[in-house]
Amino acid sequence: MQSKIAIIGAGISGLSAAAYAAKAGHEVHVFEKNGEPGGRARQFEAAGYTFDMGPSWYWMPDIIEAFFRDFDCSVADFYELVPLDPQFAMIFADGQLSVPKEYGELRSLFENTESGAGRRLDAFMKSARNKYEVGMGEFVQKPCHSWWEFVSPKIALSSLKLDLFTGFRKYVSKFFKNPRLAALMEFPVIFLGAPPAEIPALYSLMNYGGLVLGTWYPMGGFYQLVTAMQAVARREGARFYFNSPVERIIVENESVNGLVVNGERHTFDAVIASSDYHHTETLLDAAYRNYDDAYWHTRTFAPSSLIYYLGFREKLPGLRHHNLFFEHALDGHIADIYKEKRWPREPLFYACCPSQTDPSVAPPGHENLFLLMPLAPGLNDEEPLRERYLAQMLARLEKHTGITGLYDKIDYRRSYCVRDFVADYNAFQGNAYGLANTLSQTAVRKPAIRNRKLCNLFYTGQLTVPGPGVPPSVISGKIAANEINQIKSRCYESAI
């Protein structure tokens, strides 16, 4: 039976939920507080540059392709996806590693760096592939209402091989002793929100999803995925309303009745909230919230970020598309972005230079550079602090590229940090990546995808299952949309 569904937020998970709910025959209305879709994956243009505002690592292409396949289309129908080679470069104090696209070349890189590491890479990736197939094919598809969902022959047979109770750092150390190789293998889990020692080794699946399946780039920028997903949702019948912040969720007779948007009341049969989970619950009376404020303050959050969008009036040779400045990664400073609520001493940072691949994102002869420095959420980020760290990052870029006077070569700059995440996305404490994927915050232990007191309110996105990142958010939207089919039975159960 068709229902009238509201979706709060047009981020990746909201777009996914809108497409799947509309395909199921529901009347879908999407309300977005900003002026365009995408959430953290928005894009803006300025001074001839095109900047992706958030996600830039196009990993797990099979998960994204599966979304389009569900709607009888393909990524290729919407944008050109190109492989990056090298996939990325890691810059250390005494040199760098450039990670090749082809696995055979990657294996040689490992063997040449540490004797026997090529063979051990094969063993690592064989296990990682198994985790990827079970994790992304089985685990992350569950709504996680109960641990009983994970009782299946495939999961049971694989459970002993998933290394759920082994720390990622300890697991990597079994295979590789060279500090550079260890840092390379630990890198994919940094944005999961906890030091590698506290992340389950299950997440070696990310090494397979990135290093083996490859690092890709959609020509025109990551935002091409956003516009493609919106096009699919619109084709299925979803309607979008921008500059439309939701001010209240209306509850009547122990179920959601509608929303107040820009001062106007709208009636709906169900609501899927792709907005920040904590913020969504502030739109409800306290009696109907899944979690109180004390709960959120005890959660372990993934980092926030200081981001700079920079345009340079000349090219910057020596940079790859993706560059990881890890000169201090081997000195124990990674913990700064997780444990200590202060600005980091020797920050790691990431430099994305998409104009190395895509000339359309910068004026001719210019360079487009996105700098991202992870840091703890909830910090004070006044402009002088931002500028101080920009100067540090530029100094390290100068040392790496051999180009001096970078600051004077900037012809466009914009910063983005903790308070901007709060202002634009209502992000709790200005977090950028949701909750840390520690064992105590995995699967059933994540914030619930459905409201326990209101039978027709659901949540989707990086703060609920399966977790942070673009592919998981695509899956999260699909899970939430599937929950709509349970509304009738759930509301009946609530009534009795």
For 22, the token pair is 């509309």
Q: Hey, where are the domains in the chain?
A: 4-44+222-298+432-495, 102-213
CA dist 219 and 75 (Å) reads: 12
- Per-residue pLDDT, averaged over 172-176, amounts to 96
- Per-residue pLDDT, averaged over 69-92, amounts to 98
Span 426-467, pLDDT tens digits? 999 999 999 988 888 988 999 999 999 999 999 999 999 999
Other beta carbons less than 10 A from residue 93's beta carbon: 10
According to the model, what pLDDT value does residue 465 have? 94
- Per-residue pLDDT, averaged over 69-86, amounts to 98
pLDDT beyond 90 at 315? yes
pLDDT beyond 80 at 492? no
Q: Looking at domain 4-44+222-298+432-495, which CATH architecture does it have?
A: 3-Layer(bba) Sandwich (3.50)
Q: pLDDT category, 480, cuts 50, 70, 90?
A: very high
pLDDT beyond 70 at 146? yes
CA dist 334 and 344 (Å) reads: 9
For 14, the token pair is 């909201």
According to the model, what pLDDT value does residue 331 have? 55
Question: What percentage of the chain has pLDDT greater than the value 90?
Answer: 79
Question: 109 phi and psi, to 5 degrees?
Answer: -60, -45
According to the model, what pLDDT value does residue 493 have? 60
DSSP 8-state secondary structure symbol assigned to residue 303:
P
- Per-residue pLDDT, averaged over 37-49, amounts to 98
CA dist 179 and 94 (Å) reads: 12
Question: What percentage of the chain has pLDDT greater than the value 70?
Answer: 94
CA dist 109 and 118 (Å) reads: 8
Q: Does this model's pTM top 0.85? A: yes
According to the model, what pLDDT value does residue 496 have? 46
Q: Calculate the average pLDDT of the chain.
A: 93
pLDDT beyond 50 at 252? yes
For 387, the token pair is 């500028």
CA dist 266 and 405 (Å) reads: 55
Radius of gyration of the chain (CA): 22
- Per-residue pLDDT, averaged over 331-353, amounts to 75
Pick the CATH number of 102-213 from 1.25.10, 1.20.120, 1.10.1060, 1.10.405: 1.10.405
Choose the weakest-confidence range: 123-137, 302-316, 339-353, 445-459: 339-353
CA dist 282 and 434 (Å) reads: 17
pLDDT beyond 80 at 340? no
According to the model, what pLDDT value does residue 299 have? 93
Q: pLDDT category, 309, cuts 50, 70, 90?
A: very high
